[in-house]
Amino acid sequence: MSEKINITIVGAAGKMGCELIRQIANSSNYNLVAAIEGKDSKFIGEDAYKIAGCSITGVAINDDLISAVTKSDALIDFSSIDSTLYASELSAQARIVHVIGTTGFDNKHDEMIQAAARHATIIKSGNMSLGLNALLGIVQNASKLLDDNWSIEISEVHHKEKKDHPSGTALALGSFVANGMEINLENKKVIDDPIIIEDEINLTKVKEGLVRKKGDIGFSSYRKEDVVGDHSVIFEGNNERIALAHIAESRDIFANGALKAASWGQDKDPGLYTMQDVLGF
């Protein structure tokens, strides 16, 4: 491996892809060797640095992931489910690090990623930020102290272009709640359709008129222009509630975490890891 870590960004023209490229451009630790989009992307042939608003140029966006893998120490991937699954196969063949920020996978997809992790070092997380991963631990510990007389509402707010719901982060929060309460999330989760909002939302309160049964783990999703990603967990009991929230003010926190994960994975054995592993929680 070279002194700099050679990085390929999969989903290079997306919001997270551009943020990663900006950070790589300003770093002495990483080298952008390829920028990947789907073959039908309108950005094919465009300069990745230019699309990201950087002052330098030199890496054209293309769809040749096979060639990119051969010159990469790590893939950082915020793309789509199909693209990520394909990339995981290639990262396994090349035995390199694959950082996955893509969300929306089902159990079958997770099994495919787990299979790839027999040969690749895969770090997969629905949220790469330090603060959010700290919240996961806090939520799990709080859940251990509560009985089934409490209902739990997990709310998430994202930009209008986000397709999957609830977010991967919201589902991770639900999983940590369920682990703390020693229950099966699949038996308790209740998922509502996303709501488009224009005004600010108070994440410390349950949506007005929303009724949950005791013991439910509810998921409310909101879509609002230009929101990076906000999450909260509300434990509601009899005449009291506990509200825990994480507010993301910039995408750079996710890019920082993804690059940290790419560095962390360089000397790790193949396997499936999370940001909790990277951060040592």
DSSP alpha helix (H) spans, the chain: 15-25, 48-51, 65-70, 81-94, 107-116, 130-144, 168-181, 185-188, 252-264, 275-279
159 is catalytic: no
158 is catalytic: yes
Q: Are 224 and 247 in contact (CB under 8 A)?
A: no
Distance CA 250, CA 158 (A): 12
Gyration radius of the chain's alpha carbons: 19
Distance CA 143, CA 122 (A): 28
Q: What is the DSSP letter of 56?
A: -
- Catalytic pick from 124, 158, 188, 189? 158
Tokens of 257: 């975490």
Long-range CB contacts (within 8 A, 24+) of 261-265: 261/97, 261/99, 261/123, 261/125, 261/128, 262/5, 262/7, 262/30, 262/73, 262/74, 262/76, 262/97, 262/99, 262/123, 263/5, 263/29, 264/123, 265/74, 265/97, 265/99, 265/121, 265/123
Distance CA 111, CA 86 (A): 13
Query: Smallest Cα–Cα separation from 242: which of 202, 205, 268?
Result: 205
- Catalytic pick from 98, 124, 162, 165? 162
Burial 171-191 (b: 16+ CB within 10 A, else e): bbbbbbbbebbeeeeeebbee
Task: Indicate the helix (H) or strand (E) that contains 241.
Answer: strand 241-248
Among all residues, which ones are annotated catalytic? Answer: 158, 162
